[in-house]
Amino acid sequence: MIKNYESKLAIILLVVLVFINIGYIVETQNFNQQENGTQYQEFILTDPEGDDNGIGSLIYPTNLVFVEGAFDLINFTIIVDEYNVYFKATMRDLGGNPWNGRNGFSLQYIQIYVLTTNETLPKSNTTFGLNINIHYGWHYAILVNGGWGDTPLPEGELPAIYDGNETLVAVEGELYDVYVDETQPNTIVARVNKTLLLDVENIGNWKILVAVASYDGFGYMRVRGVQSGEPGEWVFGGADPNAILSGVHPLVIDLLAPTPEDQYLMLTNWNIELGLKPLVGSIVVSTGELLLPPIITPTPTPTPTPTETTPTPSPTPSPTPIPTETTP
């Protein structure tokens, strides 16, 4: 009996290791029954701890509000019930609510990009201020922040949902709500009514990209910037100086991915010489599989072609005539 148990355990561990090595997030999928008999779905995706450094080298700003782990995504869960879809992002440390966001948090700016299986929907590949492009594209962009004012992101400071034409679908209110989960520490919830989204019945086949940025009410599109060298009080340090000069540096601090190396690979999948922004992949909801983008090849440095030269012949010196002496 013990040997059989050990054999089964070894097989399970082997399967998990294989999933990790070929680009899958360690993931759990549950189908349960609520008390009222309504079936709901739950998809749990995990992200490595300690990879909240963007391209692999970013350093938090120096102001004390930026606590360690505030931008470190460690878990992302999708729950579907009879009326809503819940997108839940768990951070290593939410960092409190230093700027009094109405939704119970301040520091994070989470952007969720959803590609459904409905190919008739408008699709985009760009993002809202993250300075990356999504290879597989998206039909819905769900923008999540602490919530201030009365105008939707990115022009204003309220959570919002956009379609692939970048047309506003919803602003935070009755059908779309953002809040901190009181039952789960450090977890931000975006509740989206099913009437706002098409193709929810196929949610397991959706492809998603989840990016964590730092919210900046004064920044371009409300995203905090980066700089090379040491960090400033309100800006991240450690960025690639050449990527900044070329305008291709991503402003993502953490990206949902199986390994830190996957994150770093995608966020530096740029072409600095041509000014091409990083091209990133997506995650399959039901399996946690990472679909990597094509790798952008750097512009090769041209090798100079050697020039064949014909040697110029040296001139042959003419002999100097010897003067002839004459006798008078």
Give pLDDT, residue 14.
41
Residue 194 to residue 175: CA distance in whole angstroms? 9
Domains of the chain, earliest start first: 32-291 (2.60.40.1190)
Give pLDDT, residue 298.
77
Give pLDDT, residue 320.
47
**Secondary structure string (H, E, C) spanning the chain:** CHHHHHHHHHHHHHHHHHHHHCCECCEEEEEEECCCCCEEEEEEEECCCCCCCCCCCCECCCCCCCCCCCCCEEEEEEEECCCEEEEEEEECCCCCCCCCCCCCCCCEEEEEEEECCCCCCCCECCCCCCCCEECCCECEEEEECCCCCCCECCCCCECEEEECCCCEEEECCCCEEEEECCCCCCEEEEEEEHHHCCCHHHHHHCEEEEEEEEECCCCHHHECCECCCCCCCCCEECCCHHHHHHCCCCCCCEECCCCHHHHHHHHCCCECCCCECCEECEEECCCCEEECCCCCCCCCCCCCCCCCCCCCCCCCCCCCCCCCCCCC
From 305, 283, 304, select the one nearest 292 (Cα to Cα). 283
Give pLDDT, residue 324.
44
Give pLDDT, residue 202.
98
Residue type, 303: T
Residue 257 to residue 254: CA distance in whole angstroms? 9
Give pLDDT, residue 328.
37
Mean pLDDT by 10 residues, the chain (328 residues): 44 40 54 64 98 99 99 99 99 99 99 99 99 99 99 99 99 99 97 99 99 98 99 99 99 99 99 98 99 88 57 49 43
Query: How does pLDDT run across 83-128, given as a tens digit for each residue?
Result: 999 999 999 999 999 999 999 999 999 999 999 999 999 999 999 9
* Model pTM score: 0.85
Residue 189 to residue 177: CA distance in whole angstroms? 8
Residue 324 to residue 114: CA distance in whole angstroms? 105
Give pLDDT, residue 300.
67
Give pLDDT, residue 306.
56
Give pLDDT, residue 311.
54
